[in-house]
């Protein structure tokens, strides 16, 4: 518990130092940063039409571009496993949107393989167990890394059991998510479960922009907070602060 708090404090220091989420360390470019999009391109050049991808999805809007892009290459099963989402009603809303989008995509003529969907268990207790001691971490910090791992671990485990060729996640499309950390976790789990990880940084090639266009086209519900109760509280308090500043101006 103590070490978790220390890690969280370290992130508070970075947030103070860098000021905004935009400038948080995960988004600071270094000269030796890996280009995950280029790595993905290389794999896609070699993919044969029979390979199967087990794709963890956080929500319909983030999956919209990823599915449009990858279904030309893979037989995809979308795995909706997000025990981090608070509360139950919000979870149901997001999962329903995910299924609705897949249904719509499957009706499109000649746009790729049919997409399957699998809903994981909604088990908030699993999320609160990994978030214990990290409740105060700002979004983008250690709590989020643990949250990524919780969801990716289950994805890797099932992908292995069900004999998929690859596993990956839609999460790298978000500018608020740490793509390097997600790929690092994915690669570690790939070793552990002996299942290939598909590297990605889906926001590249205008992926994030395209997800916004597709969300508008399909009228998708776009939530205004990441998912957990802490991110919801953070968003509410940011909105209150902004309202206060506006009133004072
Ligand atoms: S802010 Fe998002 S990624 Fe971070 S812990 Fe909460 S739900 Fe998970």
**CB 226 near ligand 1, within 6 Å:** yes
Of 57, 177, 226, the one to substitute when testing ligand 1's pocket (max ligand atoms within 8 A of C-beta) is: 226
Q: Which residues are registered as beta bridge partners of 197?
A: 167
Residue 249, pLDDT score = 60
Measured by CA distance, the residue closest to atom 2 of ligand 1 is 226
Alpha helices in 60-166 (DSSP H): 60-70, 88-106, 124-131, 142-161
Residue 50, pLDDT score = 81
Residue 13, pLDDT score = 41
Question: What is the tens place of the pLDDT at every residue in 43-65?
Answer: 999 987 689 999 999 999 999 99
What SS3 state is found at 221? Answer: coil
User: Could you tell me where the beta strands, DSSP code E, fall in 5-103?
Assistant: 52-56, 75-80
Distance 143 CA to ligand 1 centre (A): 7
Collect all residues with Cβ–Cβ distance below 8 Å to 85 and sequence separation of at least 6.
91, 94, 122, 124, 227, 228
Domains of the chain, earliest start first: 37-223 (3.40.50.620)
Of 15, 58, 83, 84, the one to substitute when testing ligand 1's pocket (max ligand atoms within 8 A of C-beta) is: 84
CA distance 190 to 198: 9
Residue 111, pLDDT score = 83
CA distance 184 to 201: 12
Exposure of 103 in the CB half-sphere (CA atoms within 13 A): 7
Residue 246, pLDDT score = 67
**CB 158 near ligand 1, within 6 Å:** no
CA distance 225 to 222: 9
Residue 236, pLDDT score = 86
Residue 229, pLDDT score = 97
Residue 175, pLDDT score = 96
In the structure encoding, which two tokens stand for residue 222, read together? Answer: 């776009």
Average pLDDT, consecutive stretches of 10 residues, N- to C-terminus, the chain (249 residues)? 57 38 42 89 89 98 98 96 97 98 96 95 98 96 98 98 98 97 98 98 98 98 96 86 68
- For residue 140, the ligand 1 atom closest to its alpha carbon is 4
């Amino acid at each position: 518990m103590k070490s978790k708090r220390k890690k969280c404090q370290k992130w508070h220091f970075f947030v103070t130092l860098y000021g905004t989420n935009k400038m948080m360390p995960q988004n600071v470019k270094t000269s030796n940063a890996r280009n995950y999009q280029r790595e993905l391109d290389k794999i896609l050049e070699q993919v044969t039409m029979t390979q199967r991808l087990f794709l963890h999805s956080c929500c319909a809007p983030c999956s919209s571009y990823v599915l449009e892009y990858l279904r030309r290459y893979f037989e995809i099963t979308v795995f909706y496993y997000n025990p981090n989402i608070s509360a139950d009603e919000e979870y149901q809303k997001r999962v329903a949107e995910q299924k609705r989008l897949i249904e719509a995509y499957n009706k499109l003529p000649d746009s790729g393989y049919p997409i399957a969907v699998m809903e994981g268990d909604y088990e908030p207790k699993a999320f609160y167990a990994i978030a214990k001691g990290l409740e105060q971490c700002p979004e983008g910090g250690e709590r989020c890394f643990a949250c990524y791992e919780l969801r990716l671990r289950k994805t890797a485990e099932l992908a292995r059991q069900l004999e998929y060729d690859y596993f990956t996640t839609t999460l790298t499309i978000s500018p608020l998510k740490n793509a390097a950390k997600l790929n690092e976790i994915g690669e570690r789990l790939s070793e552990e479960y002996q299942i290939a990880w598909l590297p990605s940084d889906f926001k590249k090639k205008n992926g994030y922009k395209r997800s916004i266009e597709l969300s508008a086209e399909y009228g998708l519900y776009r939530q205004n907070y990441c998912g957990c109760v802490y991110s919801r509280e953070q968003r509410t308090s940011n909105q209150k602060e902004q309202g206060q500043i506006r009133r004072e101006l």
